[in-house]
Amino acid sequence: MPPSSRATSRQPQSSPGLIRADLTRLPPSPDFPAHAADHPHSPQGPFDDPAYLFELKLDGFRGIANTVRGRMLSKNGNRLRRFERLLDALPPGYVFDGEIVALDRDGRPRFNDLLFGRGSPPTWRSTCCSWKAGTCGPCR
């Protein structure tokens, strides 16, 4: 191919359906004040609103603790034998959904400690009870 026919521009090509908006021309909104676009990383203070629920992010392994069958399972259904000793602290006859975490002295999750088996021992944090033996449905 001759050099004159090759594209030299590196600019992205427009694709059908791509909409480009000029955000500077939008009218002010009470939910998004005009100054917020100028300082996107400068919050006025911590966000707190009674209309929202907040939950601590636990950085660990998601698990299913089945005390009926005595198994700890991953979210994909793989057996997690390494953590099955955590079942001893749970009541028998239930299936719990939760997180296996390693917490430091201040209660903060430390994923690398969990992954490599160092630091604090792993603990179980239930997020919900999925099933109770002797019932036909979820725990209430």
Q: How many CB atoms are located within 10 Å of the residue 99 CB?
A: 18
Scan for tokens 């001893």, then name that residue: 88
Q: Where are the domains of the chain?
A: 61-132
Q: What is the predicted pLDDT for the residue at 7? A: 47
CATH code at 61-132: 3.30.470.30
Q: What is the predicted pLDDT for the residue at 49? A: 79
Taking phi over 0 as left and psi of -120 to 50 as alpha, with beta for the rest, 24 belongs to alpha
DSSP string, 61-88: EEEEEETTTTEEEETTS-B-GGGGGGGG
Q: What is the predicted pLDDT for the residue at 126? A: 85
Q: Amino acid identity of 94?
A: Y
- Residue ranges of the chain whose pLDDT lies below 70: 1-44, 133-140
pLDDT tens sequence across 88-129: 999 999 999 999 999 999 988 999 999 999 888 999 998 877
Q: What is the predicted pLDDT for the residue at 5? A: 47
Alpha carbon separation from 88 to 3, 67, 92, 120 (Å, rounded): 73, 8, 9, 18
